[in-house]
Structure 1
């Protein structure tokens, strides 16, 4: 089984698309293991006007118009693949795409739903007993998620999924790595994240609150949607930060902050892509608490953990530049040893082989 048809939000653009770097890192690592991959993405939300990368040489990218006929034409190409993947949150007619893609898959192909926002998807499924995905789950070979741990696995199994396995976010060392600092990102604390309804209150608590408590320290905020949010004078908003600038954004400030969305913090075991991107750049990372942190990093040695905004302010007030560099170096070593996308691709390949053989399909 060597060909994958992957239907997702966007590989080429991270604009209003936090899953982009997850797709890039994981699919690039799978391509290095011999898989021929075609990624199908709709031309919606102005993503194609804000591309971060050109089409890569390790993946064929098909951009289709945001129309039903174009969607159906793209979905029909699933018949050529050994592995057919529909991701969550594509952003245009997701239910129709789900039906069309798996109807087109040839007999014997592995059929996978890949959930890049499991808490949100599960909430939607629980609220709609007749949801198309909920009806289809028993017929799919497996559900893969980019986080969630046992709570998400149990929830999907309870809804009828044959199998559910997390393939966690990770680091692609070829794209996220230490770089020289850049003056435009100089700050004591940086946070990178789009403004979303289930993140806004936590940003106010964990980032804006500490900025108010520490008026002599400098804060920078990257991400879309914050242009009309009231911010203190020592907090500078940058707007959308392209992925090409993420290394400098993570490397330059004394520390960077990770803030989980409400749903992710509640479920736990869901380290955001930014956790690995920041530590992969050697940043000293302060993160809000989520269940399962210890599975990935050692608190106080490789990462700093904050239960609230007061903790963030106290960490930052006490953190000296030399200590920040040491924490960042230890985190970088850990992520390179255990949490790269090559590690995740190995896990995915093992699942593909196991499910193919279980169905009597040559791998």
Structure 2
């Protein structure tokens, strides 16, 4: 197929999680024989930090404005079999309106921020999506599954809403021998809504177990955060060092944003990347987590610091290693970028009413 994607960014992963998602998906679509044109708004904050300016697996073009986009790429959008508009695209409503009026093929919206998007729509904040556009997209691809898909179809009028979760690259995330530096680690940028559960599940546990070794990696934590004496804070950890980070801890902590907990069925990429490294995960609870991992076999759920400490201090080493391996096998068989490409292909076939190829 000839596919056109209008996304936030594929050339720069600075300050966004969209680029890595698009890179994996587009690479695997290209490996399946599809031709992809990725159109990206040229903005200064990405221009200064393009870590992949020319991906080899797609044609990439930058446009300066909405008018520039229309003048240069109307024919490509009109002729493509599939056109996908991503969340947080600048002037996304106007871009979407142009796409649904111009494209003759399947028109899809890929929401990499579904809980945030729906919260914005409830506040009548139509930064990149308007409710009137949702029924005009043939397909709504969502980072959130479960009941949210019904909401998109029944309340917002989407003809077809399907989950297209985040994914990981197995060539970048895998087990490797590292010196065990920490009992429990957490990787995540500071946010007001994640800090209370981080305090409750991890930092309180650190204070109650002075002999344990803990680490938090991520920027923007305020000076007011009082780190326990046995908790190291790494202000910035580049993506290239994430694999080593996960492989240097006995367990990893997962903490979920409030909007994602409310929606449920919204896995973060940290879950899949940590699991791919064979590092056992201690997670907060949210609806749908057990649809991804089997509790107590592939993932551990903590509601209190006492739960966290019980896992850290009492789980036998053989069981810890086995749990990490089971989670690794789960994500390798269900959550790579190649799986997402095949899921997207299946949704397109469903729309086209084509027979599914064996």
Partner of 1:203: 198
Task: Determine if the alignment matches structure 1 residue 99 to structure 2 residue 94.
Answer: no
In the alignment of these two chains, the number of paired residues is: 350
Which residue matches 1:323?
Answer: 319
Alignment match, 1:18 = 17
| Counterpart in the other structure of 1:361 | none
1:101-116 matches, cutoff 5 A: 101-103=99-101, 105-106=102-103, 108-116=104-112
Is the counterpart of residue 173 in structure 1 residue 170 in structure 2? yes
1:271 has 2:270 as partner = no
Gaps of 5+ in 1: 359-363
**Who is 2:346 aligned against?**
350
The CA RMSD over aligned residues, in Å, is 2.7
Question: 1:49 Cα shift?
Answer: 4.0
Q: Deviations over 1:54-95 (max 9, x none)?
A: 533112333445x565566677453453211111123x3333
- The CA distance in 1 between the partners of 2:108 and 2:68, in whole Å, is 22
Distance 1:257 1:160 in 2: 37
Q: Does 1:243 align with 2:242?
A: no
SS in 2 for 1:95: helix
Q: TM-score, normalised by structure 1?
A: 0.86
Q: For residues 232 and 64 of structure 1, do their structure 2 counterparts lie closer, same or farther at Cα, with a shift above 3 Å needed? A: farther
8 Å Cα contact 1:227-1:239 kept in structure 2: no
Match of 1:119 among 87, 94, 115: 115
SS in 2 for 1:254: strand
The 2-side partners of 1:70 and 1:207 are apart by: 49
Structure 1 residue 143, shift from structure 2 partner:
0.5
- Secondary structure in 1 matching 2:170: coil
Query: How big is the shift at 1:116?
Result: 1.1
Structure 1 pair 295–202 and aligned structure 2 pair: CA distance change class (3 A): same
TM-score w.r.t. length of structure 2: 0.87
Taking a change above 3 Å as real, the CA distance of residues 162 and 311 of structure 1, as seen in their structure-2 partners, is same
1:224 counterpart (215, 219, 229): 219
After TM superposition, give the deviation of residue 253 of structure 1 in Å. 0.8
Aligned runs of 1:147-158 on 2, under 5 Å? Answer: 147-149=144-146, 151-157=147-153, 158=155
- Structure 1 contact 182–248 (Cα < 8 Å) conserved: no
Equivalent positions of 1:62-73 (< 5 A) are 62-64=61-63
Structure 2 counterpart of 1:313: 309
Note closer, same or farther for the CA distance 1:341–1:130 as it changes in structure 2 (3 Å cut): closer
Query: Offset at 1:331?
Result: 1.2
After superposition, what is the alpha-carbon deviation per residue over 1:9-28, rounded to whole angstroms, capped at 9, x for unaligned? 22233332123333222222
1-structure distance, mates of 2:72, 2:196: 39
Q: Residues 310 and 42 (structure 1 numbering): CA distance in 2 closer, same or farther, change over 3 Å? A: farther
> In 2, are the aligned partners of 1:111 and 1:142 still within 8 Å (CA)?
yes
CA drift at 1:43: 4.5
Give the stretch that moved more between structures: 242-251 or 34-43: 34-43
Q: Tell me the secondary structure at the aligned position of residue 46 of structure 1.
A: helix
- Residues in 1 aligned to 2:52 and 2:42: alpha-carbon distance in whole angstroms: 15
Counterpart of 1:135?
A: 132
Using a 3 Å threshold, how does the CA distance of structure 1 residues 130 and 320 change in structure 2: closer, same or farther? closer
